[in-house]
Amino acid sequence: MEIFDHHRGEKDALITVLEEIQHHYGYLPTKQLQYTARELGFPLARVYGVATFYNLFQLAPPGRYQVRVCKGTACHVGRSAEILTQLKAKLGIDEDETTADRLITLQTVACVGACSLAPVVVINDRTLGRMTPEQVWEAIEKLQKEASD
């Protein structure tokens, strides 16, 4: 794999390699983690340890839409917990899970960095600010409708 050609022999390249693999596949496939361990000379447990420690890495393919609810202080005060609770209930999934139809992956983030817009929800790369639980659900329903058309 070309990724390893750039990092062969670099013992501190594990995170960089995992980032590049995830960028290529959209997540970290098991076979690629095994290959990474072999190529970099690490125990597989170490590679899995790093992949599961950092929340930016995903071990399962994400849904078509990644919905991220901000849990920062300003967003928390602005009802982000209520938004998250509603999404979990209506989608039937928990944090870091994907709906059965592979349409939506629900995640939380520590802070989006848009505190003046709290509470914030990010859908893929689109930041939605000053959201209510109802507005977030309307956005989700719109995505579901678009996907079914």
Domain membership of residue 133 (yes or no) is: yes
Averaged over successive runs of 10 residues, the pLDDT of the chain (149 residues) comes to: 75 92 95 94 95 90 96 96 98 96 96 96 96 98 94
Same domain, 33 and 78: no
Structural domain containing residue 111: 65-148
Domain membership of residue 12 (yes or no) is: yes
Q: What is the pLDDT of residue 94?
A: 98
Same domain, 23 and 94: no
| Cβ–Cβ < 8 Å for 16, 8 | no
Q: What is the pLDDT of residue 131?
A: 98
Domain membership of residue 17 (yes or no) is: yes
Q: What is the pLDDT of residue 1?
A: 65
Same domain, 143 and 79: yes
